Amino acid sequence: MGDNLPPALLTTSLVNTIQIGSLYALMALGITLTFSVMKLPNFAHAEYATAGAYAALIVSLSGVLNPLVIMIAAFVVGALSALISHLAVFKPLERRDVSFYTLILASFAVGLIIRYILFTMADYFNLFDLRIAIPLRVLFREGTLILSNLFAWVVPTSLVLVFILTLLLNRSPLGREMRALANNVNLARVIGIPVERVKNYTWLLVGGLAGVAGALWGLQTAVHPLMGWGAIISVFAAAILGGLSSFSGTILGAYVVAFSENTVILFLNVNYGVDLAYKPAIPFIIIIVVLLFRPQGLTKLIRRAGDLGR
Amino acid sequence: MITIRELTAGYGKLEILQDLSLSFAERQFSAVLGPNGSGKSTLMKAIMNLNTVFGGSIHLRERELIGVPTEAISRLGIAYVPQRENIFDELTVLENLQLGARILPKHDRPTALKELQEIFPILGRRGAQQAVTLSGGEHQMLAIAIAWLSKPSIMLLDEPSAGLAPAIAIDVFRVLGELREQGMTLIVVEQNARRVLQYCDYAFVLREGMLVFQGTAEECLRDEETIKSYLGVH
Spell out the domain ranges in chain A. Answer: 7-309
d(CA A209, CA A81): 12
- A18, with CB counted inside 10 A (0-12, 13-18, 19+), is middle
Amino acid at A284: F
Pairwise CB contact (< 8 Å): B147 & A308:
no
- Res. A305 pLDDT band, cuts 50 70 90: very low
Nearest to B82 among A190, A308, A309 (CB): A190
A309 pLDDT more than 50: no
Q: Which of A119-128, A142-151, B10-19 bottoms out in mean pLDDT, i.e. has the lowest?
A: A142-151
d(CA A252, CA A236): 13
Tell me how many domains chain B contains: 1
Strands B63-64, B78-81: pairing is unpaired
Selected residue of B48, B71, B76 to mutate for chain A interface (largest A Cβ count, 10 A): B71
Q: Please name the fold of domain A7-309.
A: ABC transporter involved in vitamin B12 uptake, BtuC (1.10.3470)
Higher local confidence (pLDDT), A143 or B171: B171
- B2, with CB counted inside 10 A (0-12, 13-18, 19+), is buried
CATH of the domain at B178: 3.40.50.300
**Residues of A with Cβ-Cβ distance to B86 under 8 angstroms:** 187
Average pLDDT estimate for A237-253:
89
Nearest to B99 among A191, A195, A307 (CB): A191
Pairwise CB contact (< 8 Å): A179 & B88:
yes
Pairwise CB contact (< 8 Å): B71 & A189:
yes
Average pLDDT taken over every residue of chain A = 89
- Res. A291 pLDDT band, cuts 50 70 90: confident
Strands B14-24, B2-11: pairing is antiparallel
Selected residue of B91, B139, B144 to mutate for chain A interface (largest A Cβ count, 10 A): B91
pLDDT digits (tens, 9 = 90+) for B123-182: 878 888 999 999 999 999 999 999 999 999 999 999 999 888 888 899 999 999 999 998
The Cβ of residue A166 has, within 10 Å, a number of other Cβ atoms equal to: 16
Q: What Rg do the C-alpha atoms of chain A give, in angstroms?
A: 19
pLDDT digits (tens, 9 = 90+) for A209-234: 999 999 999 888 889 999 999 899 99
B214, B202 contact by CB (below 8 A):
yes
Tell me what percent of the residues of chain B surpass a pLDDT of 90.
67
A32, A206 contact by CB (below 8 A):
no
Give me the residues paired with residue B57 across strands: B5
- Res. A303 pLDDT band, cuts 50 70 90: very low
- Res. B11 pLDDT band, cuts 50 70 90: very high
B90, A309 contact by CB (below 8 A):
yes
**Residues of A with Cβ-Cβ distance to B80 under 8 angstroms:** 190
pLDDT digits (tens, 9 = 90+) for B204-213: 999 999 999 8
Average pLDDT taken over every residue of chain B = 91
Three-class DSSP labels, chain A: CCCCCCHHHHHHHHHHHHHHHHHHHHHHHHHHHHHHHHCCCCCCHHHHHHHHHHHHHHHHHCCCCCHHHHHHHHHHHHHHHHHHHHHHHHHHHHHCCCCHHHHHHHHHHHHHHHHHHHHHHHHHHCCCCECCCCCCCEEEEECCEEEEHHHHHHHHHHHHHHHHHHHHHHHCHHHHHHHHHHHCHHHHHHCCCCHHHHHHHHHHHHHHHHHHHHHHHHHHCCECCCHHHHHHHHHHHHHHHCCCCCHHHHHHHHHHHHHHHHHHHHHHHHHHCCCHHHCCHHHHHHHHHHHHHCCCCCHHHHCCCCCCCC
- Res. A300 pLDDT band, cuts 50 70 90: low
Pairwise CB contact (< 8 Å): A192 & B71:
yes
Please report how many Cα atoms fall inside a 13 Å half-sphere around the Cα of residue A82, on the Cβ side: 35
Pairwise CB contact (< 8 Å): A194 & B71:
yes
pLDDT value at residue A130: 87
> CA A20: distance to chain centroid?
10
Domain extent at residue B176: 2-231
Average pLDDT estimate for B97-108:
92
- Res. B94 pLDDT band, cuts 50 70 90: very high
Strands B154-158, B29-33: pairing is unpaired
How many CB pairs below 8 Å do chains A and B form together?
75
pLDDT value at residue B222: 84
Give me the residues paired with residue B155 across strands: B79, B186
A266, A272 contact by CB (below 8 A):
no
Pairwise CB contact (< 8 Å): A186 & B91:
no
